[in-house]
Amino acid sequence: MENNEKVTLSCEDGVATLIFENTHLNILSMPMRAQIDTYIDQLLEEGKTRVLIIHGAGGKAFSVGSDIKEFDPRPGYGIERNTEEHRVFNKIRDFPFPTIAAIEGYALGGGLELALTCDLRVASENSMLGVPEITLGVFPGGGGCDHLTRLLGLSKAKELMYTGDPITAQEAWRIGLVNRLAPKGEALKAAQELGKHIASRSGLSLQVIKEVADKGIEMPLKEAFKLEIEGSERLFNGKDVHEGVRAFKEKRPPVFNQ
């Protein structure tokens, strides 16, 4: 990696925080994505994480997306580039436990696509979010097109992609693109507080909820109901449900170990 590209990983109480930095705009170069990919593999191998937070350092931008200098306008390049980008992004999207993007400043293009791979997004009130790819003659093909249509609905997603215009954090919260707003400079803190709260819940339940919700949304309703039934059986065969019920009866907070 070049000297201006850095990725760090820290873990505390089941919450892993992955912070990346590449100039003041946190450009997602190919070496940067490769480093993020390596850390995700590490977390998956260790199997101790209950919540993953992803954050672009510096305060000016979560990320403004891909390094345009890497673009090679030739036949086949779109397939090569986006296949690799999807491979890394899908690994985050498919992470078995909840993921949160802590957005401070600009989240544009591939930067917003990275945030969209996460289950939740916390943005500071000064943030701006958008997919300006159309201004370069391309489109958000790193998952952004499909994530936006599923999250916002077809019409609103098309508006963002057709115009390429960014929106404020407040508007992003209003339309459901962002889950929570934080004061300027406190997106990471707010995301970590939310992450610790989520991590205190049953790990097995978190895993089942994510799996059932992510798979079920792609299925007809009655088929998705079958996933719920199977998920419930997994939980009732686990240890956490016994602790949860016992803690309820004893009027104390549960201590989950699974």
Catalytic residues: 113, 133
DSSP codes, 121-179: EEEETT-EEE-GGGGGT---TTTHHHHHHHHH-HHHHHHHHHH---EEHHHHHHHTS-S
- Calpha distance 9→17 (Å, rounded): 6
- 123 contacts 182 by C-beta, under 8 angstroms: yes
The CA distance from 194 to 190, in Å, is 6
Evaluate whether 25 touches 64 at the Cβ level (below 8 Å): yes
In terms of Cβ atoms closer than 10 Å to its own Cβ (0-12, 13-18, 19+), residue 174 is exposed
Whether the Cβ atoms of residue 110 and residue 66 lie closer than 8 Å to each other? yes
